[in-house]
Amino acid sequence: MCGIAAQHRTDSTPDLDAGTRMLLALAHRGPDDSDHRTVGEHAWLGHTRLSIVDLDGGRQPLTAPDGWSLVCNGEIYNHEQVRAELGGAVFGTASDSEAALALLRTGGPAELHRLRGMWALCAAAPDGRFVAARDPLGIKPLYWARRGAAVHFASELRAFPAEVQDAVESFPPGCYWTPEAGVVRFATAVPAADPAVWEGIAPEVAEKATREALVDSVRRHLMADVEVGVFLSGGLDSSLVAAIAAEHCAERGRRLKTFAVGTEGSADLLAARAAAEHLGTEHHEAVFTAREAIEVLDEVVASVESFDASLIRSAVPNWFLSELASRHVKAVLTGEGADELFAGYSYYHAEHATGLDAELVRTLEELHGLNLQRCDRVTMAHGLEARVPFLDAEVIAHATALPAAYKALEPDGMEKGHLRRAFTGWLPEELLWRRKEQFGTGSGAQDLLSPYWADRVPDADLAAAADALGVRTKEELAYYRVFRRALPAVRPDRVLTRFATA
């Protein structure tokens, strides 16, 4: 995991001073190293590194013998397969990112669909060729600002020079950009699915396939030359990830590290403790108070780069969790994405009982600007990499192909019954069938934050801001003010996705 910045200019040479400032703004994303390079007459690439794979040889920008250079943020889990498929291609490092560089050099940006993982990249050649691209789901962030003949790219909004902040936009997932072709889509977030594939198949067969898909993904996401832990909330999704990872570590003579957070006595903290005890992990906890939650709000909002109230509520406990985990590991697995794949939220069933598949696809496609943005920013603020095995391309393809009936509520109203049955025996029944609580609720954060603003933001302020700024609650207005202080010129309509309700 890293931070990247880049410039492409056709009117002059790149602005090296601006590039240096962009890299400094991203230092938290890559505390281990930083470097940059001018490529040809028109491009500049910068990189801050958190060393996860090929600790000694993976420094970026990576450069090929023909002068092509690349900076990449993220992880490419099938890089060994890509290397094997390219046969005669020459590799100078063991870095997973070099597989992306090799594809660009041998087949061009249309070949990027072969990469499996979470990544955003910029690459340039001495002859003026330039490519920027982002993974199909947008797990890793990438923004850009186009002004005249200059184009800037960066991993976070805060990195852009003040003079172009008002032009910054979110770079579209599953797309690449070149100066010649513009924006070109190379992959979709969710592949076309044919639920008829599963018609007439016994539920037990589908459950086995779901289990195998997730087990394979978790094991693949443990790829690293450093230790990888798990964020464990005690809910179904993170507990399943922890169970698979714990088994994998045990096979290799290691003990998995797990991390939980909450207010004293909160539901998530207690459930995570029980799951860790059952799995035999080395478990660590962070307990936060109301005072501490309020004290970090400005930092959290500025880091998440959003003012959506639901996002900030869940980001606050994640802040303390990331701070804790970063003292022990460099990377963690999370349970993000399971609810969007297997219909874990109650509104899916209350409002979309018909048309469920379409709503699941819609929310998956918006994740890059919501939960994935929160997950990336809060962890990277502490130099920690977060990986999301539920959002592996093969897991997404499998889950979205399952008929909607497999994602319907159980007779007692329990959600995700199919996923729970797929892992019968992996967890105690009381954890396997624990009812869903959103992270901001289960950790105790919502009870601390939502009421806090009732008497602190005047009614008149909200009434004036609701129409002018589109904020919906006093809490959201408070976060908007922090957002605006951190990013005074950024246009929220160009860079933010928001939950349907605050």
Residues that are catalytic = 2
The span from the CA of 116 to the CA of 475, in Å, is 38
The label of the residue with tokens 């046969």 reads 87
The span from the CA of 260 to the CA of 280, in Å, is 14
* 3 state SS of 396: helix
The span from the CA of 171 to the CA of 423, in Å, is 37
Q: How is residue 100 written in tokens?
A: 């992306």
Q: How is residue 389 written in tokens?
A: 């095995």
The label of the residue with tokens 């801050």 reads 48
E-state strands within 126-280? 130-134, 143-147, 150-154, 168-170, 175-178, 182-185, 228-231, 257-262
Around Cβ 179, how many Cβ atoms within 10 Å?
Answer: 15
Cis before residue 451, ω within 30 degrees of 0? Answer: no
Please state the separation of Cα 422 from the chain's center in Å.
25
Q: How is residue 179 written in tokens?
A: 């100066």
The label of the residue with tokens 């040889």 reads 57
Q: How many helices (H) and strands (E) does the chain have?
A: 21, 17
* Half-sphere exposure in the Cβ direction for 337 (13 Å, CA): 30
The span from the CA of 42 to the CA of 12, in Å, is 7
Exposed / middle / buried, residue 132 (Cβ in 10 Å: 0-12, 13-18, 19+)? buried
| Degrees to nearest 5, angle at CA 192 with 80 and 356 | 120
The span from the CA of 90 to the CA of 79, in Å, is 14
Whether 151 contacts 8, CB under 8 Å: yes
Q: How is residue 148 written in tokens?
A: 């005249």
Backbone angles phi, psi at 461, to 5 degrees: -65, -45
Q: What is the DSSP secondary structure assignment for residue 172, as one 8-state letter?
A: P
The span from the CA of 417 to the CA of 402, in Å, is 13
The span from the CA of 100 to the CA of 358, in Å, is 32
Hey, what amino acid is at 9?
Answer: R
